[in-house]
Structure 1
């Protein structure tokens, strides 16, 4: 046999069977991983924020609990705001650095191909009458009758003189 036409190690049905087994295993692993993440998230929330026991508390104890929760909310908001500022600053820095990189790389100019032209082609292109037509600007202008203007001027001067 030549090197270009090698005999496959496994038959097509065997490869298809192995592929389907791998896909099933990957799907089951994804499901297990998502469930594990879900349980981890629930555990972290329960650890940080245990369930509240409000029954049997007096009004003063409820007010103290509310103050404590408001204080925790303020602390979390401050940290969230600080994180947002850090993220915004880092994104801006990343943007400026990518601009600097693109400026340093410069614009990639394509390789131009040489076009062979004879001297007749170049002279013909320069002396082509269709390309060098002069624009006639006077053709688009309105024609003005000068006699009517003179009559109006004379009439205006006569009226003003009277």
Structure 2
């Protein structure tokens, strides 16, 4: 409660899922209000959002890549808005997949990728390898997110995909 009286925004990391040591949602329910918990997104499913007193609360997942993805997709735009800055729509660009991209339907995915100018001047993107939410290398080697909607069941090399460059984001 002290944080809510001294800050406009509270951001935590970890403890927001459903494991034995995940208490954030229960504590937020007790001390404040849970506006949403769990989203159909990968990585970052156990994102929690609510309020404690007059403070806005973001409970980010514990895995490092999940933290970065949810921060840039949810928290950063919210901080900009709360600071009175104009919230800019994310820059989304079409690119050609340089390799097959695996994905199961059901959740929107932010896979990490490397965009570059391909043969003939076209923009192409390849994923950074294993995409697990604890694999920090997937984020470190990336310069964009590859956006794959919840209905997508994978992408064949040569197909068009939507990407979100990190330039201006990070």
| TM-score, reference length from structure 2 | 0.16
Select the structure that is richer in strand.
2
Select the structure that is richer in helix.
1
Q: Which has the larger radius of gyration?
A: 1
Q: Which has the bigger relative contact order, CA under 8 A and spacing at least 6?
A: 2
